[in-house]
Amino acid sequence: MASNLDGFYSALADPTRRAVVERLMVGPAPVSELYEPHDMALPSFLKHLGKLESAGIIRSEKSGRVRTVHIEAIAIAQAENWLKQQRRIWERRLDRLSALAEHVEKERSNG
């Protein structure tokens, strides 16, 4: 799973790709619609889509002359699950640290 996460976060390291993902969270869109708000050449934009597709974040399908791009919920869910696991780990660590700080404070007060 680590290599999947590496690709996922590497793909999302770019603001253009994050904007595409944000737009696709609303629903599928043709490449032309995704490309429109970005000030770059189409080949450059297509490289961004390629990076997202390689990371498993999006998929595209062609119908006639229109290529429609869809979000891949599985990739998003995997990253979300990893973040939840990390949050639980850190919450437990912070709880233990808080308990230790309270214990030290009580000893100082009593000592």
Residues 45-97 have pLDDT tens digits of 999 999 999 999 999 999 999 999 999 988 888 888 888 988 989 899 888 88
The DSSP code for 84 is H
Give per-residue pLDDT as tens, 37-50. Answer: 999 999 999 999 99
Contact at 8 Å (CB) between 10 and 50?
no
Q: Kindly state the tokens that stand for 13.
A: 């390291």
Q: What is this structure's pTM? A: 0.73
Residue 77 Cα to chain centre, angstroms: 9
Contact at 8 Å (CB) between 48 and 16?
yes
Fold of 2-110: Arc Repressor Mutant, subunit A (1.10.10)
Cα 36-53-37 angle, rounded to 5 deg: 10
